[in-house]
Copies of this chain bind each other. A is one copy, B any other.
Amino acid sequence: MKIFLAQQNYHIGNFEANTKHIIDAIQKAREAGAELAVFTELSVCGYPPRDFLEFDDFIRQCEAAIDEIKSHTSDIAVIVGAPARNPRPEGKDLFNAAWFMHEKEVKAVVHKTLLPTYDVFDEYRYFEPAYEWNVISFKGEKIALTICEDIWNLGDNPLYRICPMDELMKQHPDIMINISASPFDYDHDEDRKEVVRLNCLKYNLPMFYCNAVGSQTEIVFDGGSLVYDRAGNLVKEMKYFEEDYCIVDSRESGVGSQQPGENSRESGVRSQQPGENSRESGVRSQQPGTVTLEKDMRVKKIKDPNMIIPYLTAEHNIAQIHTALVLGIRDYFSKMGFSKAILGSSGGIDSAVTLVLACEALGAENVRAVLMPSHFSTSHSVDDAVALSKNLGNPYDIIPIKNIYDSFLDTLSPVFKDLPFGIAEENVQSRTRGNLLMAISNKFGYILLNTSNKSELATGYGTLYGDMAGGLSVLGDVYKMQVFALAKYINREREIIPLNIISKPPSAELRPNQKDSDSLPDYAVLDKVLFQYIERRQGPKEIIALGIEEALVQRILKLVNTNEYKRNQFCPIIRVSIKAFGVGRRMPIVGKYLS
């Protein structure tokens, strides 16, 4: 069977645009001679639709879209993702479903069994798990159709009680198709390939794996759809971070590899080069029969503490983060209906990296940098920020904050009296900048990009409504050590970010001669502890056992936990790690734990 995979970027709730996008791809598939066109999980409404799913009107719009798409399936079969109503009175109202349509009819609706309800996922909030499992017969082949997480339970230590593919194997399928919305995090692509490969080995079947692409507020979907043959060889790996289409014939040698005794079928158009078949993921390869996944694959890596910083800053990861952030910015703006960004450019490394990424995503002419020096800014800060914008060719303004700051202090003097300069005065400067940026943003229709990094957010080293302001956080899931690595990566061919910005000691410049190191531990130690605590969810005992001083560990964990209230008011963060602040990490604010 000639199967067309459509790796597309949808807009949540934008039924008109999504339906047109799907129908256009059906036409592409038709023109390529495909018999079946496969789309991604919840493609009709976009993933994740969240609480829109609780509106009957939203479900009716999904159904109307299915009806329209169905009318384009007279001569080609189509699989799309959309919610399906649960006809039983008991259980959640909906299933997360794959709709198989052909001859202008819905021929089968397959329900998702394994509903991810962890990190950024809330599927059990909306969906009932599948009650039954049936293959779909089409063109003489039996298709085992599953949805995303359904193929992530393979071994002896899974998150789930049920293995949907084991159930489907009772009906002797010929091929596996999985429609996914599997988000990006750096270094996760190899996991995904390994899971698809292990499924092929376990079931001795080829798999067509179609994944979503595009960024949805904070979650980046990276595409990279896959075809593996039944021997676990990679047949096709689609593009990452962009839309892509491909057609693969399941009867090709190297894909379907017919069973002995099966009739030989005519081979269709070849879309792969023979050499592509030999690509293997290699890493973590295992013997068939010993397929095991850890209970939470996402917290599996890097147990040697000395490998944490090298892992965080590995060029492979940094390159992926770079591309993901550019996509994250671009999609946020286009889906919000904006084209122009503004940001505060301090001459520091965080705003420099943010500015470079924004220019790449939106075009330098659409990114306005605002330099807002204060009493405490060093002269080189302004020079460095100007040099950066000259390198990039983006517009910039210099707006000193001295007069506003002075008028704040003057107005506050009856209240503050003779109390010494402190955090309050530092924050007034930061909030004055936030206010200026928002004013320009409101006046001209920019979205303010936030420049805080993950190490700052973790420790609360930032000012609410000041440098924590913004509509989208670019670096909020990127530790400071990774920001340095990103800067070097950006400069890999030529000096885009002035070297002085990279080499000078980080400073908020809110009081004379201030340095981050006055308030925070060395970033190489800080980031190591934060990674253990945030990504790996280790407690103080385990982190101290790595050889880090007890008082330092306790101080850092306390900073993280007592600053939950600040992060709670922070903007969406483009997620690039296995555990970002935001919807994927839900902490009590009034809690008192390690604090």
Contacts and interface: CB of A to CB of B under 8 A. Distances in A.
Given A159-B91, A412-B439, A465 B434 contact: yes
A428 interface: yes
A336 interface: yes
Given A404-B408, A412-B436, A465-B438, A589 B568 contact: no
A33 interface: no
Contact of A403 (B57, B335, B411): B411
A266 interface: no
Interface string A83-95: 0000001111100
A258 interface: no
Interface string A513-526: 00000000000000
Contacts of A594: 13, 57
A250 to B, nearest CB: 32
Interface stretch (A383-391, A491-499, A533-541): A533-541
Contacts of A57: 538-542, 594
A266 B425 CA distance: 71
Interface string A530-560: 0000000111111000000000000000000
Contacts of A122: 117, 122, 125, 586
Interface in A183-223: 216-217
Given A52-B593, A91-B161, A117-B124, A403 B397 contact: no
B465 A55 contact: no
A11 B425 CA distance: 33
Given A58-B539, A406-B407, A424-B443, 4 more contacts: A125-B586, A403-B411, A424-B440, A569-B570
Contact of A419 (B124, B436, B443, B471): B443
A593 B58 contact: yes
A13 B440 CA distance: 43
Interface in A40-59: 46, 48-52, 54-58
A489 interface: no
Contacts of A595: 13
A51 B12 CA distance: 27
A49 B571 contact: no
Of A58, A122, A431, A434, which is in contact with the most chain B CB atoms at under 10 Å from its CB? A431
B13 A331 contact: no
Nearest to A218: B589
B332 A590 contact: yes
Nearest to A129: B161
Interface in A377-427: 397, 399-401, 403-404, 406-408, 410-412, 414-416, 419, 422-425, 427
B399 A590 contact: no
A49 B125 CA distance: 18
B11 A586 contact: no
B407 A403 contact: yes
A335 B156 contact: no
A125 to B, nearest CB: 5
B50 A588 contact: yes
29 contacts: A11-B590, A13-B592, A13-B595, A14-B591, A49-B588, A55-B537, A55-B538, A58-B539, A89-B157, A90-B158, A90-B160, A92-B159, A117-B117, A124-B125, A216-B590, A217-B590, A400-B411, A404-B408, A412-B440, A415-B443, A416-B443, A424-B439, A427-B439, A428-B435, A428-B439, A431-B465, A438-B464, A465-B465, A583-B586
Contacts of A589: 217, 336, 572
A435 B438 contact: no
In the A-B complex, list the 6 residue pairs whose CB atoms are closest, starting with the nearest.
Answer: A57-B539, A13-B593, A335-B590, A465-B465, A424-B442, A424-B443
Interface in A282-338: 295, 331-332, 335-336
Contact of A160 (B61, B91, B295): B91
A25 B254 CA distance: 70
A8 interface: no
Nearest to A412: B439
A327 B118 CA distance: 31
Interface in A575-595: 583, 585-595
A565 interface: yes
A347 B592 CA distance: 36
A464 B157 CA distance: 46
A73 interface: no
Contacts of A14: 591-593
A218 to B, nearest CB: 8
A586 B92 contact: no
